[in-house]
């Protein structure tokens, strides 16, 4: 139970304060602040500008909705407030959950004749970034230019951050390129923007640029760069960055170590991720959650659940990410009852309100287990409006279990929300093709064309000799593509000798014969990447591939055989999880 704030005594004769400000150092709550304000009124100092300024600054230092409301009331009592006082208000609002009230107050201040200074726009732009208020942010940018305050060392980074938070990293880059001598704060802002926008190569290029300029990176820089390595799945690059982290003392930061866990896990090296965790002297909620998620995505579900028990023994409070890892672990191992228990304990035991990703994990958990009607009902009865992603999760489950009729119902629900995603048409089309419902296949293909829906092409990447090579289904991007195709043709011949039969049912083109369908399957991006890895790495080396979509069933079967024939471990990261292929088996146990 929370303790009530202790009143500040103002009635003791021997220590009766002569001025309200002498009480502020002892103030620990808004209730006590109001007592001080009452004392100021009693001593006829309620209009003293110095006292009002200090009271407002106290309210905005660690802002809450009630403290900001009180600060605003105090601000409104001041006739012609100084810009410094407005900046305090804007800074407070920018760090609160009512950040856009800073803009309303700014408009009021402008109408009252207040003129902004160098410290005004950073807080206002931060408020827009927090609220994703792109329109207001652009207007502030224009006003800053008009007033000649845009080319300020404090304004530049906040402008860059505002644009990236509002998902316009190209506008952020235009701002960055106008800086004559960008400082590390500006570099951090644009690098973070590229990392958040899944454009890691641009971020890494800027990191090399700041190094060439002899600028000293910070822990913020390293967090973004490690995120880029994770996005690329570039283990060798990640290991180099790890050495850089240790050499420059960044490994003293808990967040940097947590980012290292995440990077190693996403680059396919679970052992390195575990090693980082075990070396940490301080392990916070994020560190535990990162390791639980790492175990879950690598198919070691029981280890993930065991780590949660260790986390509870260590008396570390879980958060929403912790439960994402737990639900993920249960989903990919078929632990339906356990997953349901974790889901309902979130709010009942820990007071954590489930988010859209937790709901998605529950749909995935039920769908993978074949409880499709239950998953449909779960989405239909959600306390929030379901997103297309939730329905897509169920559509994938319908495809896995061959339920055409429910798949048709689900896609109608998707189309009510978004009919522009080409992958939806393809999933149902493939499902109908397997059921030999070719009229439905043709209808879906026509509908897809009429609506201009485009399917994201399959893309797989592999890092060889510190260079990330990308392959797209059906074609390569290398000058050695002819050699690669020939090697892949020979590889498929070897696979057929040990029992590989291409699953042409996965190709929904009714106008193709089996031979043409087999060719389409052969040049899937993950097969091209694996073949490239076999050609360009020494025998026995682990082949690590990253794919932007879910690995297809035919490539999954082929990878198992390749791992056996060539005695290579293949680690394939798709959009959902890691598959560790070794000695003809996969870590997912074919439950994926």
* Alpha-helix residue ranges (DSSP H) falling in 64-119: 65-76, 83-94, 101-111
| CB burial readout 301-331, b (16+ within 10 A) else e | bebbbebbeebeeeebebbebbbbbbbbbbb
Token pair, residue 57, equals 């600054």
Sequential pLDDT tens for the chain (592 residues): 333 444 444 444 334 456 777 888 888 888 988 988 888 888 888 788 888 888 998 899 889 989 999 999 999 888 888 899 999 999 999 999 899 999 999 998 898 888 999 899 999 999 999 999 999 999 999 999 999 988 888 899 999 999 999 999 999 999 999 999 999 999 999 999 999 999 999 999 999 999 999 999 999 999 999 999 999 999 999 999 999 999 999 999 999 999 999 999 999 999 999 999 999 999 999 999 999 999 999 999 999 999 999 999 999 999 999 999 999 999 999 999 999 999 999 999 999 999 999 999 999 999 999 999 999 999 999 999 999 999 999 999 999 999 999 999 999 999 999 999 999 999 999 899 888 898 898 899 899 999 999 888 889 999 998 899 999 986 544 444 688 989 999 999 999 999 999 988 777 676 778 788 888 889 999 999 999 999 999 999 999 999 999 998 999 999 999 999 999 999 999 988 999 999 999 998 888 7
Strand pairing of 578-582 and 467-472? unpaired
Task: Confirm if 230 and 266 have CB atoms less than 8 A apart.
Answer: yes
User: Environment class of residue 443 by beta-carbon count within 10 Å: exposed (0-12), middle (13-18) or buried (19+)?
Assistant: middle
High-pLDDT (> 90) share of the chain, %: 74
Residues in Cβ contact with 410 at an 8 Å cutoff, skipping those fewer than 6 apart: 376, 391, 394, 395, 398
What is the distance, to the nearest Å, from the Cα of residue 492 to the centroid of all Cα atoms in its chain? 37
CB 422 within 8 A of CB 448: yes
pLDDT value of residue 203: 97
* Rounded distance between C-alpha atoms, residue 549 and residue 461, angstroms: 12
**CA 349 to each of CA 317, 341, 342, 344: distance values in angstroms, whole numbers, following the listed order:** 11, 11, 10, 8
Phi–psi pair at 509, nearest 5 degrees? -75, 105
Tokens matching residue 533 = 């890895």
Mean residue pLDDT across the chain: 91
Q: How many CB atoms lie within 10 A of CB 128?
A: 29
Which helix (DSSP H) or strand (DSSP E) does residue 305 occupy?
helix 301-313
Residues comprising the chain, all counted: 592
Q: What is the pLDDT of residue 579?
A: 95
Q: What confidence tens digit (pLDDT) does each residue in 194-239 have?
A: 999 999 999 999 999 999 999 999 999 999 999 999 999 999 999 9
pLDDT at residue 503, as a whole number: 87
pLDDT at 12: 40
In terms of Cβ atoms closer than 10 Å to its own Cβ (0-12, 13-18, 19+), residue 527 is buried
What global pTM score does this model have?
0.85
DSSP letter at 152 equals: -
Closest of 249, 247, 307 to residue 283, by C-alpha:
307
| Alpha-carbon distances of 93 from 135, 137, 164, rounded to whole Å | 18, 15, 20
- Give the per-residue pLDDT at 494: 94
Q: Residues 300-353: pLDDT tens digits?
A: 999 999 999 999 999 999 999 999 999 999 999 999 999 999 999 999 999 999
579 bridge partner residues: 572
Distance CA(172)–CA(158), nearest Å, equals 10
Please name the residue that has the structure tokens 């190094």: 211
Residue with tokens 């228990």: 341
CA distances from 323 to 362, 375, 391 (A): 11, 19, 21
């Amino acid at each position: 139970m929370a303790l009530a704030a202790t009143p500040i005594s103002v009635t003791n004769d021997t220590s009766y304060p002569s001025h309200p400000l002498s009480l502020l150092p002892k103030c620990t709550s808004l209730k006590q602040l109001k007592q001080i304000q009452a004392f100021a009124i009693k001593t006829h100092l309620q209009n003293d500008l110095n006292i009002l300024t200090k009271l407002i600054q106290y309210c905005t230092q660690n802002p809450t909705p009630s403290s900001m409301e009180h600060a605003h009331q105090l601000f409104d009592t001041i006739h012609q407030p100084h810009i410094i006082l407005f900046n305090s208000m804007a800074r407070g609002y920018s760090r609160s959950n009512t950040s856009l009230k800073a803009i309303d107050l700014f408009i009021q201040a402008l109408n009252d004749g207040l003129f902004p200074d160098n410290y005004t726009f950073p807080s206002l732009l931060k408020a827009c970034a927090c609220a994703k208020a792109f329109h207001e942010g652009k207007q502030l940018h224009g006003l800053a230019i008009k007033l000649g305050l845009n080319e300020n060392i404090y304004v530049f980074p906040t402008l860059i951050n505002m644009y990236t938070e509002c998902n316009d990293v190209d506008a952020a880059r235009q701002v960055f390129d106008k800086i004559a001598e960008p400082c590390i704060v500006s570099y951090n802002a644009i690098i973070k923007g590229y990392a958040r926008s899944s454009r890691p190569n641009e971020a890494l290029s800027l990191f090399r640029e700041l190094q060439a300029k002899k600028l000293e990176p910070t822990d913020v820089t390293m967090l973004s760069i490690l995120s880029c390595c994770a996005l690329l799945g570039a283990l060798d690059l990640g290991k180099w960055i790890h050495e850089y982290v240790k050499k420059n003392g960044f490994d003293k930061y808990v967040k940097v170590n947590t980012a290292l866990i995440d990077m190693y896990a996403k680059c396919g090296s679970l052992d390195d991720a575990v090693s980082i965790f075990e070396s940490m002297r301080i392990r916070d909620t994020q560190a535990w959650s990162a390791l639980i998620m790492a175990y879950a995505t690598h198919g070691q579900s029981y280890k993930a659940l065991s780590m949660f028990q260790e986390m509870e023994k260590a008396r570390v409070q879980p958060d929403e990410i912790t439960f994402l890892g737990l639900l993920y672990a249960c989903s990919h191992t078929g632990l339906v009852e356990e997953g349901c228990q974790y889901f309902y304990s979130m709010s009942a035991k820990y007071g954590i309100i489930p988010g859209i990703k937790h709901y998605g994990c529950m749909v995935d958990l039920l769908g993978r287990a074949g409880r499709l009607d239950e998953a449909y009902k779960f989405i239909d009865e959600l306390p929030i409006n379901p997103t297309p992603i939730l329905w897509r999760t169920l559509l994938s489950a319908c495809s896995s279990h061959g339920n055409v009729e429910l798949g048709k119902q689900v896609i109608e629900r998707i189309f009510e929300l978004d009919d522009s995603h080409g992958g939806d048409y393809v999933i149902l089309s493939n499902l109908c093709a397997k059921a030999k419902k070719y009229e439905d296949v043709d209808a879906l293909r026509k509908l897809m064309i009429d609506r201009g829906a485009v399917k994201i092409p399959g893309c797989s990447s592999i890092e060889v000799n510190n260079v990330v090579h990308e392959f797209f289904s059906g074609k390569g991007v290398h000058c050695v593509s002819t050699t690669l195709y020939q090697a892949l043709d020979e590889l498929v011949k070897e696979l057929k000798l040990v029992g590989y039969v291409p699953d042409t049912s996965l190709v929904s083109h009714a106008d193709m014969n089996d031979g043409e369908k087999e060719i389409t399957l052969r040049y899937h991006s993950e097969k091209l990447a694996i073949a490239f890895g076999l050609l360009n790495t020494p025998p026995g080396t682990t082949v690590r591939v990253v794919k932007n979509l879910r690995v297809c069933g035919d490539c999954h079967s082929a990878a198992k055989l390749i791992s056996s024939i060539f005695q290579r471990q293949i680690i394939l990261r798709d959009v959902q999880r890691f598959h560790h292929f070794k000695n003809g088996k996969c870590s997912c146990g074919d439950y994926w």
